[in-house]
Amino acid sequence: MMRILSVVEESVVDGPGIRTVIFTAGCPHHCKGCHNPSSWNPAGGEEVEVEELVQRVKLSGWDGVTISGGEPFLQSSALAKLVTACKSLGKNVWVYTGYTLEQLEAMHDEAIQTVLDYADVLVDGRYEQSLRDMGLRFRGSSNQRIIFLNKV
């Protein structure tokens, strides 16, 4: 099961091309100026089977899927299942996180490592309102990085 707020079937702002975007529930970062503060509550949204999310991604027909939040890594086991299943469908997978890549790696969590092994792109770092830059593609503040992983 994965706790999600919503699924957007057609997005062009959360990665390249037209994508399915899954917004997870729960976020410990509480970034000032967050565009999605309703995602902070870990009990918000609804619980959905990972397989149901995979079927929605499959039926969408889009090349890509983006998992955002909230903080997707709060549900690392379900996230790993979702990412690996989407990759098995041939989807391009982006994951947004308020953690840095280095912080995620330091957690030494098998599920987190699976996500990092299978996701194509990680957009990392907390949103910093003082570093907001509307000219950036696919991120809100200049401290956030777009990291191409492509390990699998």
Kindly report the CATH number assigned to the domain that includes residue 91: 3.20.20.70
**For residue 26, cis peptide bond before it (omega within 30 degrees of 0):** no
pLDDT digits (tens, 9 = 90+) for 29-76: 999 999 889 999 999 999 999 999 999 999 998 989 999 999 999 999
Question: How far, in whole angstroms, is CA 52 from its chain's centroid?
Answer: 17
On whether the CB atoms of residues 79 and 31 are closer than 8 A, the answer is: no
pLDDT of residue 152: 53
Is the Cα torsion angle 96, 101, 103, 108 positive or negative in sign?
positive
Tokens 């191409």 label which residue? Answer: 148
CA distance 14 to 110: 26
pLDDT digits (tens, 9 = 90+) for 124-140: 999 999 999 999 999 99
Beta bridge partners of 94: 66, 121
Total domain count, the chain: 1
Percent of the chain at pLDDT > 70 equals: 99
Is the Cα torsion angle 102, 108, 112, 114 positive or negative in sign?
positive
Structure tokens that stand for 94 in this block: 């982006």
pLDDT of residue 151: 66
pLDDT of residue 42: 93
